A and B are shown apart, each in its own frame.
Chain A
C-alpha cells in the first residue's frame, strides 16, 4: 500500500548536483517550479493555437536531462516517484480530455466528446505534471534529509530574529523524515494483523471505512508515543541541548558549482519568460507550427 512512497529516497553518489549546497538546490527547485508554471497548458487570451507551450516543455525537458546527467541518479529511481502519483495524473488527464468544448470535435459518443484542443491541453497537462515531479524529485534524490533540514534552517534564519524557533523546527523535520519509513512499516504490520483478525478496510460505505481505520490508528498512536518517549531518552543521553553553540557535521558552503547552477537555472527561467512575454510563442510557432497546424 505504501511501497511507492519515496520520501527521503536519497541516492548516494558523488555527482555535481550532489555536491551543490542544499540551499542552492532548494532555491533552484523553487525557480524551476515557477518557470514551469509560466509555460501555459491552457489557452491564453493572447494566443490560442495548438502549438503554444510546446517549446517551453521542450526546453524544460532538455534542462532536466542535463540536470539528471549531472546528478548521476538512475532513471529508475526518478520513474519510481512518478509511479507513486501515476493514478492522479491519469485521472486528471482523463477528466481534462472530456471537458473542453473548444476546437474541432475529433470523436463523440452520446454526450461525450473529445476535441483537438482538449487533446493538446491534456498532453500539455501531463507534460507539466510529469516534468514537475521529475524536477522536484532531484532535490530529495541528491540531498540527504539532514542537509535539506539544515538548508531550510539556514534559509529561514531571518525568522529566528522574530523569535521563531527555527533550530527546533529543523530538528523536528529531520526526526519526522527519519521516522516516516518506520511508521509506514508499522502501519503495514498493524493492517496485516487486523486483517488476520477479520477486519476489512475496503468494503462498506465511507463512514464504515473510516471507522475501520480506528483499530489501526489507536495502536499506531500508542506506539508512536512510546517511541517518542524512548527517543527523548536516547537524545538526552547523547547530550542534546548541552550547548547552544551546537556545531555541524555537514558543512554548507557555496562554491563555483552553486554559481554555475544558479546561472543555468535562471537562464532557463529567462528563456521561458521571454518565450511567453517577449517572443509571444514565436519559438513555438517556428518549431511546432508547421506540423501542428496554422
Chain B
C-alpha cells in the first residue's frame, strides 16, 4: 500500500552558464492507493518531469516526494521507491533491454536479486496480465507498437509495483493498440494498483477518477473529470475538451442546461433525451 505525498516540490533543469529552466513550481498533492489519476497539460508543462520525480529518477530541487513515507531523496532506499512506483515511457522501442520478450520482463526481478523460482512466477503472472503469454518467446523488435507497450507494462508489473505511471504511453500507438492498453490499465486499477496516466487524449483522461491539470509547471486544477470538463480550466491550460463535453458546451450556448460535463457519448445522449422531454 503506497500513498504518494508530494509537498512543495520545485524542479529546475540546469542548462549550463548557471542558467536554469524551472520545470515545476511549488507543487503539492497526494495520491491514495488505488486511485486512477490522469495528468494533463500542454507540451512542456512539466508532466514528464513530475513522473520522473515520483520514482526518484529526479530528486526535487525543493520540497519532498514521499512514497509510502520513504523520501525519494534518500539514496539508501531509492530502490525501495522504484520497486513501488514503475514508469511506462512513451516510445515503445526504447524501454526493452532484451531481445526476447520473457527475458525483458524478467529484467526488473533479476535486478532485485529475487530467487529464480519466483522470477518465473512473476514473469508468467505479468505476461498473463497483459495478454502476452502466447508471445513470450518472440523477438521483441518484431512485435507491433501496442504489443511492445504491453511488454513494457509487463516489465513494470513483474516488480509488483503499487503505482504505475504511464507517460504518454499510448501516444505512438494506433487506436486499436491504444484501446487495448487502456483496458489493461483499467483492469490493473481494479486489481488495486494506483494508475497515473499522463495523456494528451482527453477521452483517456475521462476514464480516470481524478484529473490534475498542469500549466507552466504549476497545478491549476485537481478534481473529478466531470467538474474539470465543465469548468474553464481546460481552456486556460490550452487543452481541448473530449468530444461529448465539447458538444455539451455548444448545446449549453443554445438553450440546453448541462450541470456537469458528460464523459461518454451515451451519457450525452441520455442527458439530451432527458432535457428534450
A residues sitting closer than 8 Å to B (CB atoms) are 8-10, 12, 144-146, 171, 174-175, 177-178, 181-182, 185, 226-227, 230-231, 233-243, 245-251
Residue pair B94, A231 in contact (C-beta under 8 Å): yes
Residue pair B98, A239 in contact (C-beta under 8 Å): no
Question: Would you list 28 pairs from A and B whose C-beta atoms are within 8 A, ordered by A residue?
Answer: A8-B99, A12-B137, A12-B138, A144-B103, A146-B100, A146-B103, A226-B94, A227-B94, A230-B89, A230-B94, A233-B57, A233-B87, A233-B89, A234-B94, A234-B97, A238-B159, A239-B79, A239-B82, A239-B83, A239-B108, A239-B112, A242-B111, A243-B112, A247-B116, A247-B119, A249-B106, A249-B110, A249-B119
**What are the residues of chain A within 8 A of B109 when measuring CB–CB?**
247, 249
Given known A146-B99, A247-B110, contact A237–B55 (CB-CB < 8 A): yes
Number of interface residues of B (CB under 8 A): 45
**Residues B62-86 near A (CB distance < 8 A):** 79, 82-83, 86
B residues sitting closer than 8 Å to A (CB atoms) are 52, 55, 57, 79, 82-83, 86-87, 89-91, 93-100, 102-103, 106-116, 119-120, 123, 137-142, 152, 155-156, 159
Which single residue of chain B is at the shortest CB-CB distance from A14?
A: B137
Residue pair B110, A10 in contact (C-beta under 8 Å): no
**What are the residues of chain A within 8 A of B137 when measuring CB–CB?**
12
Which single residue of chain A is at the shortest CB-CB distance from B139?
A: A10
Residue pair A237, B87 in contact (C-beta under 8 Å): yes
**What are the residues of chain B within 8 A of A181 when measuring CB–CB?**
139, 141-142
Residue pair A234, B99 in contact (C-beta under 8 Å): no
**How far is B141's CA from A145's CA once the two chains are assembled, in angstroms?**
13
Contact of A241 among B52, B108, B111, B115 (CB under 8 A): B111
Residue pair A248, B82 in contact (C-beta under 8 Å): no
Contact of B86 among A178, A226, A238 (CB under 8 A): A238
Interface contacts beyond A239-B112, A243-B79, A249-B110: sample of 12 additional A-B pairs, CB < 8 Å, sorted by A: A146-B100, A178-B98, A178-B141, A230-B90, A231-B94, A236-B82, A237-B57, A237-B156, A240-B111, A247-B113, A248-B110, A249-B103
